[in-house]
A and B are shown apart, each in its own frame.
Chain A
Amino acid sequence: MLDRVSRRRVSRRVVAAALAGVVGLGALAACGGGSGDDEGSGPVKLRFLSLAWQKESLQANKDLVAKWNAEHPDIQVEYVQGDWNSVHDQLLTAFEGGDAPDIVHYEAASIGEFSKQGYLADLSGLLSDGFKGQIDKGIWDTATFDGKVTGVPFLLESQVVIANKKLLDAAGVAVPPADGGWTWDEFQANAQKLTGPGKYGVAWALKSPTNRVLNLALNFDGKYFYTDGGKTEVRIGDAEKEVPRRIHDMLYTSKTASPEALGMSGADTLPGFFAGKYAMIPGSVSLRQQMVEQAPAGFEWVTIPPVKGVSTNQAANPQTLSVAADSAHQKQAAQFLEYFLNPTNMAALAKGDWLVPTGKQANEELVKTTGGKQGWDVAADSAKDLTVAPFQMVDGYPEWKLKYATPALQQYFANKITLDQLGTQLVDGGKQVLR
């Protein structure tokens, strides 16, 4: 049994804990701050959910918001940082709960679902013609659903090739100009030249292969999704087979691509790339940031323009800014968007994220301010190749990708199924999803 002193001590602690709990909750309730939806007089308040996360980009976003707030005392914007991995659930809950941010940062491929449910405002009547004219129609199409423009596309991500300059020089491979990249045949031939004992010409990071394959498939006009008479289906012809076949050949026929990179994401290939194990890594233009920040001293790298099939077309999935349909201040939100995405600001945002601005003038400004160095010339030139792809407009694409395309492509790139079997699995998956 416990002695009397111990018992007293324990009971005192229990009582103290109980009191602290009650007092604590009371205090927390007091410091909670309420819902914050003050609709009275005073400045209009807009909540801006941003997904910027890189250091430079975050700073650029915060600086622009601060500048706006200083210049527009009657419209104040609250900057809220979200994160890419949970933004979908966060937005879904906020839209359903009627408490969405006024301005939402996301991507064209993902806002379609919200647009169709009526959660996003149609911006076509809220934005000026001058502003709209800055961005190509093909890019606007990526954020247009059922005739409604529900997002302003502002940052693009093209697929380029980052290469180790010293290895290129040693193998006698010339760096192509910014406006004229290699064809796929040339790319594969150069990969062969760069392959040697313990070294590979290329590292294809194919942990999540579907988006990459479908993006590049446009090089050969591979559409994957075809719509006839209102019915959409997956078709696999020669055009669709071309990119997977070429990657597979590099892995298993010419053996110029590293098989160990198959399970990697883009950034995972960097240690091997910096160590000279892989001479080239196909990837996003944003990989240039890692080159600048993480490459060892003296490491020389170059950005090679998008590879060409019958064209250099790639699927564009731009980052977008939307206005919530529930926002009581849509007009002011659109006003903020025009300011936030004016050519100078858009160029600053693109520079912070190492991506390509959608605005033509912003693109020119960016090349001018950077002098085209660090691959900015290639990045800017690649903007013209980016266009809307059929898969971006298909409702069932995320499910098809997750359940059928990704496993099938992973099996094919692991050499476990044939190209024909891959095609059959993709078509069958399409039948399941697009019924």
Chain B
Amino acid sequence: MARNTTSTGPTTGPGTGPGKPGTATAGAGRAKPRRRRRVGRGLQYLALSGYLVFLAFPLVWLLSTSFKPPRELVQLHPTLIPESPTLSNFVQAFTEQELGRAAWNSIQVSLASALLTVLIATPASYALARFKTRLGTVALGWVLLSQLFPFVLLIIPIFLVLRQAGLANTHAGLVLIYVVWALPFALWMLQGFVRNIPRELEEAASVDGANRLQTLRRVIFPLLTPGLVATALFAFISAWNEFFFALVLIKTPELATLPVALARFVGIEGTARLGPLAAGSLLATIPSLVFFAVMQRRLASGSLAGAVKG
């Protein structure tokens, strides 16, 4: 092992360490692949950094734009750092469109949608994954089929149904639609997670005297945490970004969600008020980033929980 050959330790260069006499040539021979490995690792980091810059650039540009005054937005050679930074875009975004209230509406609707989606999808996906019946296959097929309908086809019937139920122009109606919309994918995703949990664990719990509910609570759910988190994230982001249903179903300005409020900065044929739009969009990313930051830890820790190993 490497720890027995100090000359090849990570902190010493090839041939420079206190190696035994006669090992220098062998050390130099080993140094080559090590150098190659280092170069390779360096290139990996370089590629990773490039990829990160590529991913982060739109966000950085958004940040830059949100602080630029109107004149800097039409420069032939735009700068990344605003020459005369201003907060006026944020002021406009907040005063004209009440983005604070819209953000609060979006948070409520998205959180409720995520929670309800997880609540409904969890038992349903468990049943679909564990109990093999013809009905289950049909149900899964139907779930898949339901995804094929374009939503423009469904929007008018949905609107009429919600109106009859007194849920048009309410957040509850919107949550209902988002949950129904997210459920098919959530079911498919979660049942995959359930299938990956070995049945043997449930059988072992049963042998140990646990009833079905205890098995679910103490064995399945903990192992399902990454799946639950992924499902919640998916449902949250779907609801957070959704525009069309929110536009059509909500008519009271005070109930509007963020995407609808932000669209009001866009004008005819692609023209837009770039400054306030960038400022608003930047603020709109913060809650979802926070949600991700909180949840992704669970995503990682859950996946490391292990199952039948050891």
Contacts and interface: CB of A to CB of B under 8 A. Distances in A.
Interface residues of B, number: 61
Interface string A216-256: 00000000000000000000000000000000000000000
Nearest to B249: A93
A99 B168 contact: yes
Interface in B232-276: 243-244, 247-248, 251-255, 263-271, 273
10 closest A-B pairs (Cβ-Cβ)?
A32-B170, A21-B115, A29-B172, A275-B76, A24-B112, A28-B171, A271-B76, A97-B159, A270-B74, A83-B263
B155 interface: yes
Interface stretch (A4-12, A67-75, A123-131): A4-12
A36 B267 contact: no
Interface in B154-191: 155-156, 159-160, 163, 166-173, 175
A175 interface: no
Interface in B203-240: 217-218, 221-223, 225, 228
Contact of B221 (A1, A11, A81, A275): A11
Contacts of B168: 35, 97, 99
B99 interface: no
A265 B270 contact: yes
Contacts of A86: 243-244, 247, 263
Given A29-B170, A54-B267, A81 B253 contact: yes
B218 A11 contact: yes
Interface of A: 1-2, 6-7, 10-11, 14, 17-18, 20-22, 24-25, 28-29, 31-36, 47, 53-55, 58, 78-86, 89-90, 92-94, 96-99, 101, 207-208, 265-267, 270-272, 274-275, 277, 290, 293-297
B222 A6 contact: yes
B172 A28 contact: yes
B148 interface: no
A85 B268 CA distance: 7
A54 B251 CA distance: 21
A21 B231 CA distance: 14
B163 A97 contact: yes
Contact of A10 (B74, B221, B255): B221
A274 B76 contact: yes
A35 B166 contact: yes
Contact of A21 (B78, B116, B170): B116
B135 interface: no
Given A32-B170, A32-B171, A33-B169, A84 B218 contact: no
A402 to B, nearest CB: 13
A20 B166 CA distance: 23
B305 interface: yes
21 contacts: A2-B223, A7-B217, A10-B225, A11-B217, A14-B228, A18-B115, A21-B116, A22-B119, A24-B116, A28-B108, A28-B175, A32-B171, A35-B168, A36-B251, A47-B251, A55-B96, A83-B263, A83-B267, A86-B243, A86-B247, A274-B75
